[in-house]
Amino acid sequence: MSYGFGPASAAPASGLPWHDSLSVVLPYRLELESPVRALVLAVDVESYDDEDGLGWTYVASEAFTTGAGHEPASTAYEGRVAGGMIVNRQIGSDSFGRMAGVVGRVFGALPLVNSDGGLDALADRAVDGRRVVVRAGIATEDRDGRRSIDISTFGRLVETSGDTWGHGREQLTLTLRDSLARYRTAVQTARYAGTGGAEGPATLVGKTKPLTWGRCRTVPGVLLDAGRQIYQLHDGAIHAVDAVYDRGIGLEVTADVTGGYSGLVADTVPAGEVHTALDAGMFRLGSPPAGAVTADLRGGLLNEVLLYAEPWDDGDLWDDFGGWADTAEGPGYVETVGQIMLAAMMQSSRFGLDQIDGTSLDELDRVQPAPIGIHIASAGESPSLETVLAELAIGVGAVIGPDRLGRTQALRIDGPRSTTPVVLDDDAVLDVRRVDLAYGVPPLGWSLLCRRNWSGAARESDLAAGVPDERRAELLQAGFTAVFQEQARIVRHPTAKVAGLVPTHFDALEDAEAEAERLAELYAPGRILLEVVVKYLGSFTLGRTIEVRHGRYGLDEGRRFVVVGVREEYGVNRTTLRLFG
């Protein structure tokens, strides 16, 4: 048994117990050696009724009954699936056209035959937010042409949620909800009550509590108690407060107390000093400040117990090499992009760990281990989890979103890999067409914002006269700027410009410079985008390397691409791939 994603990691960076990634295993996959034939779709639909509660309806593209030992057992699937379902997964892009952000997933409606009225009662049952499981397999025929269907050989294609019913005389149409819905809730729901103490004054009533993960600089403190000069930086425990500033002048952090707000109230802080309460993300000044109070910190922890859904047959969990346990501990202080993504998802309280692909987060941290940080300020409304995850992903050139089974999966967009790819030639390809690149002219290079000033660029009047010149220059800008450019590209593309300024969350300038150089190579001149239509289903994932051999577009000898979009059409057994390379 191994832990983490691969040989570079001794243990899961995310803190999740290691587990095999769920995969779609279809009996006809055959490593793309033959196209799909006689595909059968089986759909399990969960619904709710006030009288009967939750129940399941089983429909398929042709009628069959499961065996006594199958799951579900001895169940009749009615042949009512009238048309094909479409699953479309596309990597998003930023304003330049760089592929990063949140994966979008769109489903076509699933029409069900209802000319006999057999589904009229189902149409009155609620399906919004209820599970929909789609499986596929092959019907076999004996020598006499008799067809048989064995659901135990079927593979899962999609797990998602229902939305609404579309009504017609001949058909009842089930629309399926984009599983990004759970991402569109607020990442922070805790708000200040404005009742004093740790809940702040009346001026804070209804405002969200701040969140800070990773390494963040010049974070504005939320003033909870003006009389005692108690401030909050994060809603929960943090790792360290490295510095506190008053109008840009550093104050000495001399002690840490326990007990959060109450501990700080009971404490005595000498004038000119700062005491922290790391267990509550707070600090207290020893004397009233002259102006704005900010802090550099290493933020929130993920120490709470993480509950995991049956990673082992006996229900036990391996607790980070500490022994057998019933629970798994989080990694503590988090400062890499995969860890902070996990912290944000757990903060939103909309995810169980069985809905997160921890292996993909570990791999993202393996290829991009640089320290980062993000601060979500106290405000009237919290940003959505989707917004926060998109910002984190864009900052490192990655994407995050639901996989085909609805689990959250992360992936950095890189060029085609050097490993042996899947090869698509004219036996597999139905059509190949070249597509315009979103960014048009390749960039001369990249400009990235890093080591961000989370209070924003200061004005001269905001800063004390004694702030050192180097520190003053740093505070008067939004952050540092990392630039990498290939000036020689001007010869080929005289209108090429440096792309940016791309906001990132890197703390170190050199890490941002390395990312700018990587982007320059990824979006170098000569890259092309293809749409390739193939006669296979269930065999392609985002980020996979594909080699295409075709008579057009210089593909005669084969060229490697990375999959950045997958559109599967189950009615016609066809997949359209969007390939970049």
Distance of alpha carbon 339 from alpha carbon 47, whole angstroms: 35
Distance of alpha carbon 219 from alpha carbon 282, whole angstroms: 12
Least confidently predicted of 15-19, 210-214, 258-262, 326-330: 15-19
**pTM of this prediction?**
0.85
Q: What is the mean pLDDT of residues 3-32?
A: 34
pLDDT tens column, 303-353: 654 544 334 444 343 333 334 444 455 668 999 999 999 999 999 888 877
Least confidently predicted of 11-15, 202-206, 232-236, 298-302: 11-15
Is the separation of the CB atoms in 400 and 410 below 8 Å?
Answer: yes
Is the separation of the CB atoms in 575 and 569 below 8 Å?
Answer: yes
Is the separation of the CB atoms in 32 and 428 below 8 Å?
Answer: yes
Q: For the structural domain made of 422-434+528-580, what CATH number should be given?
A: 2.30.300.10
Residues in the chain: 581
Q: What is the DSSP letter of 321?
A: T
Kind of pairing between the strands at 104-107 and 86-90: antiparallel
Distance of alpha carbon 100 from alpha carbon 414, whole angstroms: 11
pLDDT of residue 328: 52
First to last CA, the chain: 35
Q: From the CB of residue 1, how many other CB atoms can be counted at a distance below 10 Å?
A: 5
pLDDT tens column, 102-155: 887 777 788 999 999 999 999 999 999 888 998 888 888 777 778 889 999 888
pLDDT of residue 363: 93
Average pLDDT, the chain: 86
For the chain, the domains span 36-88+108-177, 422-434+528-580, 445-522
Is residue 222's pLDDT more than 80?
yes
Question: Residue 241: which residues within 8 A CB-CB, separation 6 or more?
Answer: 233, 253, 274, 276, 278, 283, 295, 296, 297
Largest CA distance in the chain: 94
Collapse the DSSP code of 517 into the 3-class scheme (helix H, G, I; strand E, B; otherwise coil) and give the result: helix
Question: Residue 236: which residues within 8 A CB-CB, separation 6 or more?
Answer: 280, 281, 300, 301
Q: From the CB of residue 97, how many other CB atoms can be counted at a distance below 10 Å?
A: 15
Kind of pairing between the strands at 574-580 and 529-534: antiparallel
For 261: left if phi > 0, alpha if psi spans -120 to 50, otherwise beta; the answer is alpha
Q: Residue 19 — very low, low, confident or very high, per pLDDT cuts 50/70/90?
A: very low
Is the separation of the CB atoms in 397 and 518 below 8 Å?
Answer: yes
Sign of CA dihedral 548, 550, 552, 554: positive
Is residue 578's pLDDT more than 50?
yes
Is the separation of the CB atoms in 248 and 471 below 8 Å?
Answer: yes
Q: From the CB of residue 146, how many other CB atoms can be counted at a distance below 10 Å?
A: 8
What residues pair up with 234 in beta bridges, in sequence order?
none
CA-wise closest residue to 383 among 208, 167, 578: 208
Place of tokens 């909309």: 350
pLDDT of residue 355: 83
pLDDT of residue 330: 61
